[in-house]
Amino acid sequence: MHTSIDLPLDKAMDIHGDEWSDIVKNCGLNPSLLPGWLACMATAFGIFDKIQVFILKNGPVIEGIIPYFISHTKLSGIPIRKVELAGNIVSYHQELITTENHPVLLIKFIEHLDNNHKWDTIAIANMHSDGQTRKAITETCSINKIPHTTYPGESSPYLRLDKDWKLLLASKQKKFRYKVNKREKVLLEDESLKVNWYTDSSNCSQLIEDIFRIEEASWKVDEDMAITERPTETEYYKLLIPYLANKGILYASVLTKDEKAIAYNLCYLFNS
């Protein structure tokens, strides 16, 4: 039997944070859906107190979780109340946080909204085009005759790595392999270059300082894309990097030339 509860973000984290994290991990979801990561986003963007967490249980077991908030905007000049999934704040491959029953979670969430809130539309940003969430929403809306519209989202220029580096490189054309090997050789032979790795909380402040310094001196400033140009993003990374370190999933590096930071790579290792 399905039951549901709706809690403020802080209470949901205190009471069900471990179960929430387990679903994200066990279902192979993006770690930006972890409660702690979401808290970093919400705090930096000043909406922590606005976020509610819908929790669907099947008996005593949590089957799905939807963090959300309600915003007020306009559509074609008409004021509307928009339910937004919390991942809309900073979307990284957004999915419904559920073990398997996406359609049931979605329907129960809509029923909860109808019974407890005044709302006009639901917005879910940057879903995988071929992901379970996109499929569930499309099918659920079609079956239940719920009006819905999709818009093209942002594309992520990433390379899926399903083999180790040597095998990946060997699968590329000879010209590509030559360029990569030559550039790697040049970098390794330049004694003025050094790579500093950051994987724990011992040097988070130095990593943050280097990242901000690199951003301020980069092309991103002229394009108004630098982290340091936006106070909310600056605060977000100040919160996020220590969080990743404390969770043991930080995997970052800074390239220096003559001890000056010139480039960085900010990643995580999750479920690896």
In a domain, 160, yes or no: no
- Specify the pTM: 0.90
Q: Which residue has the tokens 């977000």?
A: 236
Q: Which of 14-18, 89-93, 265-269 has the lowest mean pLDDT?
A: 89-93
Spatial distance between the Cα atoms of 116 and 85, rounded to a whole number of angstroms: 16
- Is the domain of 197 the same as that of 127? no
pLDDT at 271: 84
- Is the domain of 136 the same as that of 182? no
Domain boundary among 109, 143, 177: 143
Is a pLDDT exceeding 90 seen at residue 23?
yes
- Is the domain of 80 the same as that of 7? yes
In a domain, 125, yes or no: yes
- Could you give the C-alpha distances from 122 to 27, 45, 86, 88, 149, in angstroms and in order? 24, 20, 11, 11, 10
pLDDT band at 138 (very low <50, low <70, confident <90, very high): confident
Contacts of 84 (CB under 8 A, 6+ apart): 68, 69, 70, 71, 122, 123, 124, 125
- Is the domain of 134 the same as that of 64? yes
pLDDT band at 91 (very low <50, low <70, confident <90, very high): low
In a domain, 91, yes or no: yes
Contacts of 68 (CB under 8 A, 6+ apart): 51, 52, 53, 54, 83, 84, 85, 86
In a domain, 154, yes or no: no
- Is the domain of 225 the same as that of 137? no
Q: Which of 130, 40, 55, 27 has its CA nearest to residue 89?
A: 40
Average of per-residue pLDDT across 6-22: 97
Question: Mean pLDDT in the chain?
Answer: 92
Is a pLDDT exceeding 80 seen at residue 209?
yes
Q: Collapsing DSSP states into helix, strand and coil, what is residue 206?
A: helix
In a domain, 152, yes or no: no
pLDDT at 33: 94
Is a pLDDT exceeding 80 seen at residue 259?
yes
Q: Collapsing DSSP states into helix, strand and coil, what is residue 46?
A: coil
Is a pLDDT exceeding 90 seen at residue 115?
yes
In a domain, 186, yes or no: yes
The CATH code of the domain that includes 29 is: 3.40.630.30
Is a pLDDT exceeding 80 seen at residue 93?
no
- Could you give the C-alpha distances from 149 to 88, 117, 118, in angstroms and in order? 17, 22, 20
- Is the domain of 180 the same as that of 264? yes
The larger pLDDT score, comparing residue 235 to residue 89, is at 235
- Is the domain of 139 the same as that of 213? no
Tell me the per-residue pLDDT of 141-193, one tens digit each, with 9 for 90 and over.
888 888 888 887 777 777 777 888 889 999 999 999 999 999 999 889 999 99
Tell me the per-residue pLDDT of 30-87, one tens digit each, with 9 for 90 and over.
899 999 999 999 999 999 999 999 999 999 999 999 999 999 999 889 999 999 999 8
- Is the domain of 136 the same as that of 170? no
- Is the domain of 127 the same as that of 209? no
Radius of gyration of the chain (CA): 22
Q: Which of 56, 256, 75, 243 has its CA nearest to residue 149?
A: 75
Tell me the per-residue pLDDT of 118-132, one tens digit each, with 9 for 90 and over.
999 998 888 888 788
Per the structure, the count of domains in the chain is 2
Spatial distance between the Cα atoms of 25 and 27, rounded to a whole number of angstroms: 6
Spatial distance between the Cα atoms of 231 and 4, rounded to a whole number of angstroms: 37
- Is the domain of 138 the same as that of 169? no
In a domain, 66, yes or no: yes
pLDDT at 141: 87
pLDDT at 228: 94
Domain boundary among 98, 113, 143: 143
In a domain, 136, yes or no: yes
Biggest distance spanned by C-alpha atoms of the chain: 66
Domain boundary among 90, 108, 143: 143
DSSP annotation of 129 reads T
Contact 249, 31 (CB under 8 A): yes
Contact 214, 266 (CB under 8 A): no
Domain boundaries, position 237: 165-268
- Is the domain of 17 the same as that of 126? yes
